[in-house]
Structure 1
Amino acid sequence: MAKVAKSARVAEPVKVPAKTMKKPPVKAPAKKTPSTKSEAPPAAQPQTEAPATPAEAPGSGKRKKAAASNTYKRYILKVLRSTTHEDLKISATAMDIMNTFMNDMFERLAREAAELVRRNKAATLSSKDIQTACKLALPGQLSQQAVVEGQRAVARFLRASS
């Protein structure tokens, strides 16, 4: 009989008494609720596919809402027509660039104005906050021109509403 080194011995498995072993909890089978449909197996029932979108469902009365996005395309065209070049056109790519520019500027001004309101611990965003945000976000002469045009637009609006 060959001698076996102590390190080469295989450990024997430890036997645990049956009382100490825990069994996983057994889930009770789900109860069937009474339904108004026929009790035919699912394969036997006719399968009708639902329409891909609610707008396609006939008589559903629901329409899919378009994704909300700020677009300034209409206003860019109005400004383009109000200038001296009424017959001038703009390409779709240029319109998209202008629209992106307008969205970016709106976000910058809104972020700056909101920060001003937060710093002043005010509850209301005023026209003074918008003016200050314009002065902070826009460079030099452009900020002065924006403030003048904004004041002119507010005055025109107040005259028209009264």
Structure 2
Amino acid sequence: MGFSRQEYWSGLPFPSPWNLPDPGIEPRVLRQMHTGLSLSHDSMNILDSFVKDMFERIAKEARRLACYKCCTITHEDIEIAVRLLLPGELRKYAITAATKSLIRYHTCR
């Protein structure tokens, strides 16, 4: 990439995840999914970096897709970005989880 994260995030209509406090979600998810396992601090930093990088890539692609239609990023833009960026099984799992979350969101609303 030819630009910094700060330059990239300054053009987006939502705040950068680097400016938000770190809630420490990963250890809680790990404890729920795999009791008895733990990750070292370095491993957690690598995992956190991976998640933030994928968020950046998906947001950038969704933004590019939304520029052709309107200035709002919709769930369809996010889904198309995920389809373009993630490989095979990870793509299927991400889309399934996102669909479940959308259904849950709309039923609770």
What is the TM-score with the length of structure 2 in the denominator? 0.74
Q: Which has the higher helix share?
A: 2
Distance in 2 of aligned mates of 1:70 and 1:107: 17
Which structure has more RCO (C-alpha within 8 Å, separation ≥ 6)? 2
Equivalent residue in structure 1 for 2:64, among 80, 95, 115: 115
Q: What residue number does 1:78 align with?
A: 28
Post-superposition shift, 1:99?
0.6
- Cα deviation digits, residues 44-101 of structure 1 (max 9, x gap): xxxxxxxxxxxxxxxxxxxxxxx82564x62211221111x22222111111001100
- Which residue matches 2:88? 140
Take 1:150 and 1:139, find their aligned partners in 2: how far apart are those partners? 16
- Unmatched tracts of structure 2, length 5 or more: 1-17
Residue 128 of structure 1 deviates from its aligned partner by 0.5
CA RMSD of aligned residues (A): 1.9
Partner letter of residue 41 of structure 2?
A
Q: Structure 1: which amino acid aligns with 2:19?
A: A
Q: Which amino acid aligns with 1:141?
A: E
- Name which of 14, 35, 38 aligns with 1:89: 38
State how far apart, in whole Å, the 2-side matches of 1:142 and 1:70 are. 27
After the TM superposition, which segments of 4 or more aligned residues of structure 1 sit over 3 Å from their partners? none
- Work out whether residues 70 and 103 of structure 1, in 8 Å CA contact, stay in contact via their aligned partners in 2: no
Q: What amino acid is aligned across from residue 79 of structure 2 in structure 1?
A: Q
Identity between Structure 1 and Structure 2 (%): 33
Q: Structure 1: which 5+ residue stretches go unaligned?
A: 1-66
Structure 1 counterpart of 2:102, one-letter code: V
Which letter maps to 1:86?
A: T
The DSSP-based 3-state class of the residue aligned with 2:29 is helix
